[in-house]
Chain A
Amino acid sequence: MKGGQALIKSLIDKGADTVFGYPGGQLLPLYDMIYDSDLKHILVRHEQCAAHAADGYARASGKVGVCIATSGPGATNLVTGIATAYMDSSPVLSIAGQVPTHLIGNDAFQEVDMIGITMPITKHNFQVMDANEIPAIVNSSFEIALSGRPGPIVIDLPKDIQEQELEEYRNELLDIPGYKPTKKGHGLQIKRAAQTIIKSKKPVILAGGGVISAGASSELKQLAEIINAPVTTSLLGKSSFPEDHPASMGMLGMHGRKVANISVDESDCLIAIGCRFSDRTTGKIDEFAPNATIIHIDVDPAEIGKNVEVDVPIVGDAKVVLQSMIKMLKKDTSGLDTLKWIEHVKKFNKNCIPRISFENDHPLKPQQVMKELAQALDEDTIMTTDVGQNQMWMAHFFNTTKPRTFISSGGLGTMGFGFPAAMGAKVAMPENDVVAVCGDGGFLMVCQDLATVKEYDIPVVVCVLDNRYLGMVAQWQKLFYDERMSHTHLGEVPDFVKLAESFGVRAERVEKVGETQQAMKDALKSGEPTLLDIIIDPDEILPMVPPGCGLTEIVGEYKVEREIPGDIRYKTPGKAQEGGD
């Protein structure tokens, strides 16, 4: 057996049914071996899409997503996708071709130091210098990618190693004494947390992506119901808690829902689970949850105390920790006095329900589009988003109820993520409908992969929210830069319908109320990949917390289904103080 064959066999043995890739000179041996193997390979049209597709595959299924690219430019094209997966703790395995071992270091044709480049954006990476190690490296890569805090892995595979004959196929895990993720959580700390919760009057749960990767959604719901705590999520935590639940407050943060931002501000006990307190979630850190005792459960010890000082740290797997916490809490809830709080929040929440019906507006309001999407789709539909206003509209106005049904690039905020991630999600979960909601700018960055969904018949539906603007940047320019719209107008081209049709992909333009819903239903019925070019109002803006401000300093008016009570604090903030999108 040769190195390349060993790679293929170990991938298949680990359950990687499909890989996304793009060949090249240094991968010729491997691709020659893929040619008559059982490995399903999807030829993407840009390596970045291979990485995002593997990421979408991983986030939708909870399995490792695999992508392959040739050395040099192929490998560097993966980098954005790997960084995206790293920031959002997604188990993506990238296999990169490399020049033959005797040429490494010589600046050989298409040589790049992929190990060096990806060191800061992978959980770990391996350069294979002996084909005999391939099975163990692949096996260990899956193990590392999925365990503890999940994350991406890179395997750098020189050309000659692909052809080297193995002496023996041995796939036992590598001995890595430096890697022992904690699962269980410290009993005493969990007890302290339980006692703190029982004593609190205004508990709030903040759920992050860690809840989803740990598969802890049902524990999260139990906890919320036992202690009467309202639940907010980070962007990545969306779909960890059913958003039709009366205790759901939706997303927290810069672009968060008002009820969530205000309730965290008022809370006396914040239970943060599997989240990393990113600046987009906390706003100005000194003003974050000022009255709360903070309990932080995370599988990555380095996240605890990194951004926010924590009172009760618990290192462990969210599911395992919550199970023992629930057990303790269940024994005695007599001291609990949180009913008044949850009633207060529920009432407040009702008054903050965002208005989504805009039936008389033209051009279409994004809220109306979200509403019609929700009407056309079932709760098993996997939604992916791109980055920008489209993402925030989805986060706000599109409710999700089941884990792994909302996939979005949070940490890196990578435009162009939504469509290829949807492609990967559909490959992983063929029974589920998969819909990508993209901005016109972001979709154009990856539109060449319409060829892939067509050629491989991957029936995703892409909704291009067509506002002819780099909407989110334009929003900041309007709010903080005196409406000087520097280079954010996208102009008149392309015609997205014609673009899709040139790839042989079904396409439809949507301009009026009611059409989104109908077009979506038709698309799903067709069973074909479809693009919907949805023309929306470019002037619609979500209220937001300016960077450097506390979570309650919201600019802009929320449009709500009913009027808001008068006691909400508004401040007019100054100019943006730090980094943008």
Chain B
Amino acid sequence: MPTKMEKSTEKNHIISALVEHKPGVLQRVAGLFTRRGFNIESITVGESEIPGLARMTIIAHGDQQVLEQITKQLNKLLDVIKVRDLEVDSTVKRELCLIKVHAPTEKVRSEIIQYANIFRGRIIDVSSEALTIEITGDSDKIDALTDLLKGFGIKELARTGPTAMSRGAKTI
């Protein structure tokens, strides 16, 4: 804990990590977060541009000192190759969300489709009882759409959590 400095403000950080793509790595990372008491909002993981390596995007909450510890502790894991704290302002961050909405009538369905269009969502499944929408965007956009759809009755919702990379030619 900082002793001399005032505690810096707490906020969400986007951490991008390049890790070995093998069993147990997610467990090591997740275990580290629980054990050290780090506050984690979401974690996504999938293949990266390099064969054998995966990219993890972690959204974690804390002050500057906590962020520094997270980065250092992640780096200590042998399966973690690179860790970067992405600047919020120069980072593109996207999340995928699937929403199944209660849509029993034609009228309701067309209303929902209009909303989905405004948010550039796509209808990926239709039945007589429900519509399923696929939407990508930053978390705020997804929040906004789900808020709107709540009135119709959301039957099921699945969000991936954000994945991210920095703008421009920079890579981690």
A contact residues vs B (CB 8 Å cutoff):
115-116, 119-120, 123-124, 144, 176-179, 285-286, 288, 300-302, 305-309
Q: Across the interface, which residues of A come within 8 angstroms of B65, CB to CB?
A: 305
Q: Which of A176, A305, A309 contacts B78 (CB 8 A)?
A: A176
Interface pairs (29), CB distance under 8 Å: A119-B24, A119-B28, A120-B35, A123-B78, A124-B78, A176-B78, A177-B81, A178-B75, A178-B77, A178-B79, A178-B80, A178-B81, A179-B78, A285-B3, A288-B3, A301-B75, A302-B69, A302-B72, A302-B73, A302-B75, A302-B76, A305-B68, A305-B69, A306-B69, A307-B1, A308-B3, A309-B1, A309-B2, A309-B5
Known contacts A178-B20, A305-B65; decide if A144 and B27 are in contact (CB<8 Å). Answer: no
The residues of A that contact B28 with a CB separation of less than 8 Å are: 119
Interchain CB contact under 8 A, B1 and A115:
no
Find chain A residues with CB under 8 A from B81 CB. Answer: 177-178
Q: How far is the CB of A152 from chain B (nearest CB, A)?
A: 13
Complex interface: chain B residues within 8 A of A301 (CB): 72, 75
The 3 closest A-B pairs by CB, nearest first: A302-B72, A178-B81, A309-B2
B35 touches A115 (CB 8 A): no
CB of B31 within 8 A of chain A? yes
Chain A residues with CB under 8 Å of B76's CB are 300, 302
Cα–Cα distance between A407 and B27 once the two chains are bound (Å)? 33
- Min CB distance A247 to B, Å, is 27
Closest to B69 in A: A306
* Interface residue ranges of B72-131 to A (CB < 8 Å): 72-73, 75-81
Q: Which residues of chain B come closer than 8 Å to A302, judged between CB atoms?
A: 69, 72-73, 75-76
Are A285 and B1 touching (Cβ within 8 A)? yes
- Docked pose: A177 CA to B77 CA in angstroms: 11
Contact between chains at A309 and B3 (CB < 8 Å): yes
Q: How far is the CA of A116 from the CA of B79 in the complex (A)?
A: 15
B-side residues, CB < 8 A to A, are 1-5, 19-20, 24, 27-28, 31-32, 35, 65, 68-69, 72-73, 75-81
Q: Bound complex: CA of A340 vs CA of B27, how far in Å?
A: 55
A457 to chain B, nearest CB (A): 40
Chain A residues within 8 Å of B31, by CB: 119-120
State the CA gap A261–B159 with chains docked (Å).
54
Q: CB-CB < 8 A to A305: which residues of B?
A: 65, 68-69
B35's closest neighbor in chain A, by CB?
A: A120
How distant is the Cα of A135 from the Cα of B168 in the complex, in angstroms? Answer: 44
Residue of B nearest to A290 (CB): B3
User: Which residue from B35, B73, B75, B78 sits with its C-beta under 8 Å from A144?
Assistant: B78
Report A-chain residues with C-beta under 8 Å of the C-beta of B32. 120
**Separation of A177 and B80 alpha carbons in the complex (Å):** 8
Give the residue name and chain of the A residue nearest to B5 (CB). A309
Cα(A286)–Cα(B3), bound, Å: 6
Chain B residue contacts of A144, Cβ below 8 A: 78
Whether the Cβ atoms of A116 and B2 lie closer than 8 Å is: no
Known: A120-B32, A178-B80. 9 other contacts (CB 8 A): A177-B81, A178-B79, A178-B81, A285-B1, A288-B3, A301-B72, A302-B69, A302-B73, A305-B65
Look across to chain B and name the residue whose beta carbon is closest to the beta carbon of A124.
B78
Whole-angstrom distance between the Cβ of A122 and the nearest chain B Cβ: 10
Q: How far is the CA of A124 from the CA of B78 in the complex (A)?
A: 7
A115 to B80, CA, bound (A): 17
A116 CA / B25 CA spacing, docked (Å):
11
Known: A116-B27, A120-B31, A302-B69. A178 touches B78 (CB 8 A): yes
> When chains A and B are docked, how far (Å) is the Cα of A306 from the Cα of B2?
9
Report A-chain residues with C-beta under 8 Å of the C-beta of B75: 178, 301-302
Bound Cα distance A360, B49 (Å) = 77
**Least distance between B30 CB and chain A CB atoms (Å):** 10
* Min distance, Cβ A194 to any Cβ of chain B, angstroms: 22
User: Which residue of chain A is the closest to B34 with respect to CB atoms?
Assistant: A120
Cα–Cα, bound, A478→B3 (Å): 32
Tell me the smallest distance from the CB of A279 to a CB of chain B, in Å.
11
A445 to chain B minimum Cβ distance, whole angstroms, is 26
CB contacts (< 8 Å) of A120 on chain B: these are 31-32, 35
A123, B35: Cα distance in complex, Å? 15
**CB-CB < 8 A to A179: which residues of B?**
78
Q: Which residues of B contact A123 (CB under 8 A)?
A: 78
Residues of A near B78 (CB, < 8 A) are 123-124, 144, 176, 178-179
Q: Which residue of B lies closest to A115 (CB)?
A: B24
CB distance from B107 to the nearest CB of A (A): 51
* Distance in angstroms between the alpha carbons of A309 and B6 in the assembled complex: 11
- The residue in chain B whose Cβ has the minimal distance to the Cβ of A287 is B3
Residue in chain B with minimal CB distance to A306: B69
Contacts of A288 in B (CB 8 A): 3
> In the complex, A1 Cα to B5 Cα: how many Å?
60
Minimal Cβ-Cβ distance residue in A for B28: A119
Within 8 Å CB of A308, what residues of B?
Answer: 3
Complex contacts, A119 vs chain B, CB 8 Å = 24, 27-28, 31
In this complex, the member of B3, B4, B31 whose beta carbon has the largest number of chain A beta carbons within 10 angstroms is B3
Chain A nearest CB: distance from B1 CB in Å?
6
Q: Considering the chains assembled together, what is the distance between the CA atoms of A176 and B81 in angstroms?
A: 9
Kindly state the separation between the CA atoms of A366 and B48 in the bound complex, as whole angstroms.
62
Alpha-carbon separation in the docked complex, A124 to B28 (Å): 10
| Assembly CA distance A120 to B76 (angstroms) | 12
Please indicate the chain A residues that have their CB under 8 angstroms from the CB of B20 in the complex.
178
- Considering only CB atoms, which chain B residue lies closest to A140 in the complex? B78
With both beta carbons as reference points, the residue of chain B lying nearest to A149 in the complex is identified as B76
Min Cβ gap B19→A in Å is 8
